[in-house]
Amino acid sequence: MTPQDPVKPQQRESDSDEIEIRLSDIVYFLKRNRLLIAVGGIVGALLSGIIAFSQRNEFTSVITVMPEVQQKASNIGSLGSLAGLAGIDVTSLAGSSDAIRPDLYTNVTQSVPFNLELLRQNVKSVESNKPVSLLNYIDETEKSWFEFGNEANDDLPRKASGELLQLTKDQEEKVKILQKRIAVIYDKKSSIVTIQSVMTDPIVAAMTAQYTLQYLTDYITSYRTEKARKEVSFLAEQMKQARERYQAAEFALSSYRDRNRSLFLNTAKIEEQRIQADYMLAQDVYNTLSKQYETAKIKVAESTPIFKVLEPARVPLKKSGPQRSIMILAGSIIGVFTVIIVQLLRHLMARQ
């Protein structure tokens, strides 16, 4: 038999540095610190319970809408037919004419002008039937424990064309609160838009969701029909002037004929023809503008988007948060693990 190799000093050092953890050691550690672990769990549950019950109930109101997505017709004409014969598909050049796509609705509701407009709206709550501005309501419900006597400023800024928008610190905070409580979700597969409003009062949540839908409808309608409405306004003004010229030419022709009934001079006939030509031209211009005006009004109606409401805003009957039981359970677990980690660190430091 060959003698065993002697253990080297370095190998002995490495073996002594290794920590062997057995299941019995874990059980012994937990049994020895069970009282502290129980106290940590109770303290964690109490602290999280205080935080949970200090928060107000939250209610979520949901609206589902199916918006109309307009597509731009191809204006390629005969070129498209020739390209089709050649095996070239040019229909992709005719993209969507709707610049505000449903997936961009979130950007609209996250904008500062939208939130300022929403803060101006009056809402009613379960506790009080008296209408108050959403700004004052948020100021009361979102007020921290250390804030006393701070009244909301109802004088919210309105951005005029070419002017900068300047908010106070308090107004900036209210805007951020609304941005967290209003959500617009677009499902690309079903093309359905969901509007969610989370508030501390069920009636306020439903009213805020309804205001959000109304703002989106007005905003997108205004965007799509702006060009057509400007055309209607321009044609209305031109038609008014054309009507005045037409009526003046008609009166001039009738007056001339009344004054020159018995005259058969060629010069009189020439003058009558000239006045009649002016009358016919004025009449033709007026009729043409009238047709264009009616066509423009039809175009406004065609450009107006349709929002089919699938699920209207409802006053929620049950709260959506906070989940107090989950918060207390999580706090208890955090307290237990905190005690275990602290005791484990103390045990390891004592062994060194």
Contact criterion met (CB below 8 Å) for 219 and 226: no
User: What span, in angstroms and rounded, lies between the C-alpha atoms of 174 and 91?
Assistant: 47
What is the model's pTM?
0.68
Rg value, the chain, Cα: 38
Distances (CA, A) of 62 to 141, 206, 226, 241, 343: 21, 8, 30, 50, 48
How much is the pLDDT for 270? 80
Q: pLDDT tens digits for the chain (352 residues)?
A: 444 445 454 544 444 445 566 777 777 777 888 888 888 888 888 988 888 787 788 899 999 998 876 655 444 444 445 444 444 444 444 444 555 788 888 899 999 989 999 999 999 888 877 888 999 888 887 764 334 445 555 567 776 555 678 888 888 888 999 999 999 999 888 889 999 999 989 999 999 999 999 999 999 888 888 888 899 999 999 999 999 999 998 898 888 877 776 656 667 678 888 888 898 999 999 999 999 999 888 888 888 888 889 999 999 988 887 888 888 899 889 988 988 888 888 877 876 6
User: What span, in angstroms and rounded, lies between the C-alpha atoms of 225 and 243?
Assistant: 26
Which residue pairs from 153-162 have beta carbons closer than 8 angstroms and sit at least 24 positions apart in sequence? 156/116, 156/119, 156/120, 157/116, 158/116, 159/113
DSSP string, 251-314: HHHHHHHHHTSS---HHHHHHHHHHHHHHHHHHHHHHHHHHHHHHHHHHHHHHS--EEEEE---
How much is the pLDDT for 60? 92
